[in-house]
Structure 1
Amino acid sequence: MARLARVWGAHHKLPVTTAYAQAAPPAAGEAVRAFRAEGRRHIAVASFFLTPGPLADRAAELALEAGAAAVAEPLGAHPEVARTVLARYAVGAVELVPV
């Protein structure tokens, strides 16, 4: 995720950091507070959650409480997610077929 964040930030010429919902620091709220401390006011938080649920809800809540202007919804049934899952399945299935 850190690499993807760096690539996205460089492409859009915007400051980006990787944050987490639990376990590893920084938490989403901490990352938002750090950007606010730098004087940034228009902070958006992207979500890598696949499905809605308590963890995604809590991460969004903490980011908004910390001052985020927007938090993306979980990826859910986005067509690109479905294509990626199907492609990985196809590769795995092909590897099961004896040659």
Structure 2
Amino acid sequence: ATADARAQARLLADVWGTSIGVAFGSAATPSVPDAVSANRDHPHVRVAVAALLLGEGHFHDKLTRSGAEIVTAPLGASPQIVEQILTRFDEE
């Protein structure tokens, strides 16, 4: 999962033309609050967190308390997520 998160960050960095940090809401490091704090040292930087979670709850609450200016909503039951789940279920 950490390798996938870093790969997604590289793709996003290519699209936006800027560096994208990766942080984690669970066991991997750096933690989201630590990454947000580290980016406070850079002037004129707004910190955003992409919540790559399926739903609200404990982990999304932790992200919203991280101190970032922006925290995206969970992915929820978007058609793309449902399609991926059904595709993977059919593959099993």
With structure 2 as the length reference, what TM-score do the two structures score? 0.84
Q: Kindly state the Cα deviation for residue 40 of structure 1 after the two structures are TM-superposed.
A: 4.2
* Identical-residue share of aligned pairs (%): 28
Choose between structure 1 and 2 for higher RCO, CA contacts under 8 A separated by at least 6 residues. 1
CA–CA separation in structure 2 for the residues paired with 1:87 and 1:21: 27
Unmatched tracts of structure 1, length 5 or more = 93-99
CA–CA separation in structure 2 for the residues paired with 1:22 and 1:91: 28
CA–CA separation in structure 2 for the residues paired with 1:79 and 1:61: 28
Unmatched tracts of structure 2, length 5 or more = none
CA–CA separation in structure 2 for the residues paired with 1:11 and 1:37: 24
CA–CA separation in structure 2 for the residues paired with 1:18 and 1:10: 14
Residue 45 (structure 2) aligned to one of 36, 41, 44: 41
Large movers: runs of 4+ above 4 Å: none
CA–CA separation in structure 2 for the residues paired with 1:32 and 1:40: 14
Q: Which one-letter code corresponds to 1:84 in the other structure?
A: Q
With structure 1 as the length reference, what TM-score do the two structures score? 0.79
More helix by share: 1
Counterpart for residue 15 of structure 1: 19
Residue 30 (structure 1) aligned to one of 27, 31, 34: 34
What SS class does the counterpart of residue 37 from structure 1 fall into? coil
CA–CA separation in structure 2 for the residues paired with 1:33 and 1:40: 14
Aligned residues: 88
RMSD: 1.4
